[in-house]
Structure 1
Amino acid sequence: MCLLWNVKRGSEQEYKKRHQAVDQELLSALTEVGVSNYSIFMDGTKLYAYMEVDDYHRAMKELETNPANRKWQAFMSDILAMDDKGDPKMYLIDEEVFHLE
């Protein structure tokens, strides 16, 4: 899966800093729901994430109630562009048109 979202202008360095110390409980939660090979790339305020996961929607549904994920989302909410519901403005790109292995 590929995800796109934005960090608030002026928060780029803080975003990088926070990702240097991701809580082990959150990392464990991600692997428990089947996420692997997860990378986030940054270009200015634009964030691009790549992850491998068998069932993205199931995994995200499970993470919604995970305490470590809820804590992380709250921690990151002040530096991410958010939607009207208070969630990160995130866009899922799930159509793969080319793959080289």
Structure 2
Amino acid sequence: MMKIRKLLDIRERSIRYGSVFRVLGKWPYEPLVDFLLVYSPGCDRKSNLVVSTGHKAGLIMERLPLESSLEHGANGISTKWAISNWDEWIYPDCPIEDVFVID
């Protein structure tokens, strides 16, 4: 079953690949935009965010640094890292209080 939660309310250690960050968008995005967390094998930065809505859908928005991942082959990125680095690495145009995760 799909869950929609505020990022700040997530208690699990990781946000799994296939999860969606739903944010309030600003130009060049629509008013509401989704970023899909994907795994890209064969790349230096394996965790990426892909725009999954609107006219920018399908484009890689950000290649996340290695430190975003948990150790021991976790299937996603660290929740703590995502919260701590939201403004620097993910999408500073949307306040973290308004970020939802769909998984």
Alignment TM-score > 0.5, same fold: no
Give the strand-richer structure, 1 or 2. Answer: 2
Give the helix-richer structure, 1 or 2. Answer: 1
Q: Normalising to structure 2: TM-score of the pair?
A: 0.32
Whose radius of gyration is greater, 1 or 2?
1
Q: Normalising to structure 1: TM-score of the pair?
A: 0.33
